[in-house]
Amino acid sequence: MVDDGLVSTPDTNPVVVARGITKRYGATTALLDAGIVIEPGHTHGLVGRNGAGKSTLVNILTGLQRADVGELTFAGQPAPAIADRDGWRRRVACVYQKSTIIPTLSVAENLFLNRQSGQGGNGPIGWRQLRRRARDLLAAYEVEVDPDQEARDLTVGQRQMVEIARALSLGARFVILDEPTAQLDGKGIGRLFDRMRSLRANGVTFLFISHHLQEVFDICDTVTVFRDARHVLTEPVADITPAGLIEAMTGDSAAGDTDYTRPPVPSSADVVLATENLALEGHFADVDLAVRAGEVVGVTGVGGSGRISFAETVVGLRKQTAGSVRVAGTPTKPGHVPSALAAGLGFVPQDRHKEGLIPLLSVAENATLTVASLGRGGFASPRLRRSLAWKSIDDLAIKTDGPDQPVAGLSGGNAQKVVLARALASDPKALVLISPTVGVDVRSRESLLAVVDRLARAGTGVLVVSDEIEDLRVCDRVVVLLHGRVHGELPAGWTDAQLVAAMEGIEST
């Protein structure tokens, strides 16, 4: 690894200097007096947990948003005006997680979009010439893609290389890669890194954002850590250990004060939820998992680990390509939610707005959607519905005007409790919670997790799928997924550092 230190020599200005950047969205502070200095020719890593402020920094560095307070210079020059898109594009390029390729056009046209006949030219487009320029450009950056190909057919890795080549052809020598490896497999990551190394040798500077710390050690010269909207440290990679990096990311946050210790689950307890060689092509493979009655098992992993798609396959929202799921011993029909529910499964889906709730219906109706029979012959008895709803409201301490209030009027935490009430209304033997505390305040989180604890004590098997450390504290053991495979399992008593290390793909020490 090259390490020139952080002190800029007089004749080489840093490519980017951001100082004292503060950005607020309403009551949320996304960045607070944060900054970054990126030296020319370096590959600079930027890491931090969700909500640390990485995306906001990228938006500010690429001119998509303006900082409320702070100073931003490129190679010693002040940043261009927000409206001057061309000015920004000459200084900084960004490969976002979202594609900026137009799928219906050819690769060649995508490379020269809006400048097909030369910069600012309005003359007729010479397609032959355009293809030749595209071929030259792709060759110059060793991107082996056919310029005539329709861009929709590119793989993620090829798409990224085309976007990088396009950015460099605009004159930018500073490229931000926003989690470029999240959608790549191991081989694709290797190819990307090879290309980054050869571009670095040609003087291209990178800001590399990743959730996988191991990658930072593989490719970066320098690393910056953000935590809770603040800059924590910037160090040469050679001077920092994985443990030090994790400590910087997690901080010395006090461990959760709630104690969820339950008596160990006897091995004689029935298995209420089991997966066998479960796989969904392109997402995860070979996941074997068993949850016993009274046990709480966590499944975690960073974005792109296959955690969410695994959970959605278990409950039948997605159809597996291999393997099977058993609920209380009964095999469920692949990709078929009703059969999972019938077998005794309850679940809280990932996005309560999209899959969890029908906002204009009342609390009572939402809470009882899964109840198979509210009365004879499919007749939904309003009285029975209301009494069931009152029971849920009491059990889960839902703050509402009553069963008839539309759920659209509830707070995030209470709305999530209605979803949980619905999952519990059918009295499930096994419960799957997918990201149960996203957008939920601290107190509601605690009361939700207390419900999980109580359910487990009462003999329900619970699977908690989340990347929030707080959610996982309630678990007896935690299974960690990495790139779609089971990376390891942490028995009860894990520490935050161990968990983060496993999630980020670093062998725990």
Report, in Å, the least distance between residue 124 CB and other proteins: 4
224: tokens are 């910056």
Query: Is the separation of the CB atoms in 168 and 175 below 8 Å?
Result: yes
Choose the stretch contacting other proteins; rule: CB under 8 A; options: 33-41, 139-147, 234-242, 450-458: 139-147
The CA distance from 82 to 255, in Å, is: 42
Based on CB atoms, which residue is closest to other proteins, 231 or 483?
483
For residue 280, the Cα-to-chain-centroid distance in whole angstroms is: 18
Report, in Å, the least distance between residue 238 CB and other proteins: 15
Burial level of 261, CB count in 10 A (0-12/13-18/19+)?
A: exposed
Report, in Å, the least distance between residue 432 CB and other proteins: 28
Q: Count CB-CB contacts under 10 A for residue 55.
A: 17
Phi, psi of 341 (to 5 degrees): -65, -40
Residues 193-212 touching other proteins, rule: CB under 8 A, are 193-194, 197
Report, in Å, the least distance between residue 359 CB and other proteins: 20
List 71, 148, 281, 441, residue binding other proteins (CB under 8 A):
148
Choose the stretch contacting other proteins; rule: CB under 8 A; options: 23-31, 190-198, 462-470, 482-490: 190-198
Based on CB atoms, which residue is closest to other proteins, 116 or 300?
116
Site membership for other proteins, residue 244 (CB under 8 A): no
Report, in Å, the least distance between residue 203 CB and other proteins: 19
Choose the stretch contacting other proteins; rule: CB under 8 A; options: 183-191, 329-337, 413-421, 425-433: 183-191
Site for other proteins (CB under 8 A): how many residues? 41
Site membership for other proteins, residue 144 (CB under 8 A): yes
Q: How far is CA 45 from CA 97, 212, 237, 456, in A?
A: 16, 11, 9, 41
Q: How far is CA 337 from CA 315, 319, 425, in A?
A: 6, 10, 16
Edge-to-edge strand order for the sheet containing 16-25?
28-38, 16-25, 69-74, 77-78
Report, in Å, the least distance between residue 273 CB and other proteins: 32
Site membership for other proteins, residue 134 (CB under 8 A): no
Long-range CB pairs of 484-487, under 8 A, 24+ apart, other chains included: 484/283, 484/284, 484/285, 484/305, 484/306, 485/284, 485/285, 485/286, 485/287, 486/286, 486/287, 486/288, 487/301
Report, in Å, the least distance between residue 127 CB and other proteins: 8
Based on CB atoms, which residue is closest to other proteins, 142 or 401?
142
DSSP state of 356: I
The CA distance from 92 to 87, in Å, is: 9
504: tokens are 């980020």
Based on CB atoms, which residue is closest to other proteins, 99 or 426?
99
Which distant-in-sequence residues (6+ apart) come within 8 Å of 52 by Cβ? 226, 227, 228, 229, 249
Query: Is the separation of the CB atoms in 121 and 115 below 8 Å?
Result: yes
List 145, 199, 237, 418, residue binding other proteins (CB under 8 A):
145
Phi, psi of 469 (to 5 degrees): -55, -40
Based on CB atoms, which residue is closest to other proteins, 131 or 231?
131
368: tokens are 């009882």
- DSSP assignment of 171-189: T--EEEEESTTTT--HHHH
List 214, 321, 405, 411, residue binding other proteins (CB under 8 A):
214
Based on CB atoms, which residue is closest to other proteins, 218 or 468?
218
Report, in Å, the least distance between residue 143 CB and other proteins: 9
Residues 74-133 touching other proteins, rule: CB under 8 A, are 85-86, 89, 98-105, 109, 113-117, 121-122, 124-125, 127
Which distant-in-sequence residues (6+ apart) come within 8 Å of 94 by Cβ? 58, 61, 62, 167, 175, 176, 177, 178
Binding pattern for the stretch 268-307 against other proteins, x by CB under 8 A and - elsewhere: ----------------------------------------
- Please report how the helices 412-425 and 382-396 are oriented relative to each other, as an axis angle in degrees rounded to 10: 120
Helical ranges in 348-441 per DSSP H: 363-367, 382-396, 412-425
Based on CB atoms, which residue is closest to other proteins, 184 or 388?
184
Q: Which residues bind other proteins (CB under 8 A)?
A: 85-86, 89, 98-105, 109, 113-117, 121-122, 124-125, 127, 144-146, 148, 150, 155, 157-158, 187, 189-191, 193-194, 197, 214-215, 218-219
